Amino acid sequence: MISLKSVSKVYLLGQTQVKALDRVSLEIKRGEFVAIIGASGSGKSTLLHLLGGLDRPSNGQVIWDGQDLGQMSDQELARFRNQEIGFVFQQFHLLPRITVLENVLLPATYAPQKNLTQAQTRAKTLLSQLGLSHRLNHTPNQLSGGEQQRVAIARALINQPRAILADEPTGNLDSKTGRQIMTILKKLNQTQGITLIVVTHDPSIAKEAKRVIEIKDGKIK
């Protein structure tokens, strides 16, 4: 499903070149649950961003089902992300001035030819399944961290993506809530066949994955 072919990423910091990834090659099959681990600054989040089309490689190819993301225009890449991938981040990234329901519906409003009435029904169903049916009209600051992350998961699922990419999804949560969030993500992988790629520094979370990819100094160990 997903293939990286000799991918490198170089950033410029002033006059200095920093190689965040160095000729990384890997394949991730449809329906896999993969954990990406590594120390801070190892390149694991950069790898996730390239996998999700949030950034472009300096060299090499990122290919999804035969589509080279590097050959897409910015508009095509934005459409691809919107339709094919759900993102879950450590910081939740919910808009503070709109309701839980409106936050979940945001990706659907940018999807071409999306029936918003159907999307609203789906959003309510997702939130109910995640135990948040009583929070539809609340704003994010009225929710706990675990509730905010469940809203973020519902938002990631609204367009029925093929894959969920999660960057430290339990990083801002206590251990009990973090386990609950991982249980939800793991269940989505097992019952719906959604490809799940999780960046984490937590060995207990990595242990839940079917495969672990360790990054060190921009390379796969």
**If you search the block for the tokens 């095509």, which residue do you land on?**
76
Query: Mapping DSSP to helix (H, G, I), strand (E, B) and coil, where does residue 204 land?
Result: helix
**pLDDT single digits (tens) 48-92:** 999 999 999 999 999 999 999 999 999 999 999 999 999 999 999
In whole angstroms, give the CA distance from residue 39 to residue 112. 39
**Beta strands in the chain, from DSSP E residues, in sequence order:** 2-13, 16-28, 33-37, 59-64, 67-68, 85-89, 163-167, 195-200, 211-216, 219-220
Instruction: Considering only residues 111 and 161, tell me which one the structure prediction assigns the higher pLDDT.
Output: 161
Please say whether the dihedral angle defined by the alpha carbons of residues 48, 54, 59 and 62, taken in this order, is positive or negative: positive
Distance of CA 189 to the CA centre of its chain: 13
User: From edge to edge, which strands make up the β-sheet containing 2-13?
Assistant: 16-28, 2-13, 59-64, 67-68
pLDDT digits (tens, 9 = 90+) for 191-211: 999 999 999 988 889 999 999
Give dist(CA 105, CA 155) in Å, integer: 7
What tens digit of pLDDT does each residue of 19-37 get? Answer: 999 999 999 999 999 999 9
pTM over cut 0.75: yes
- Which residues fall within 8 angstroms of residue 123, CB to CB, at 6 or more apart? 101, 104, 105, 108, 154, 158
* 8 A C-beta contact, residue 185 and residue 167: no
* Residue 112, pLDDT above cutoff 80: no
Q: Over the range 154-181, which residues count as b (16 or more CB within 10 Å of their CB) and which as e?
A: bbbbbbebbbbbbbbbbebbeeebbebb
Asked if 181 and 149 count as a contact pair (C-beta separation under 8 A), the reply is yes
Is the pLDDT at 114 greater than 80? The verdict is: no
Tell whether domain 2-220 is in CATH 3.40.50.300: yes
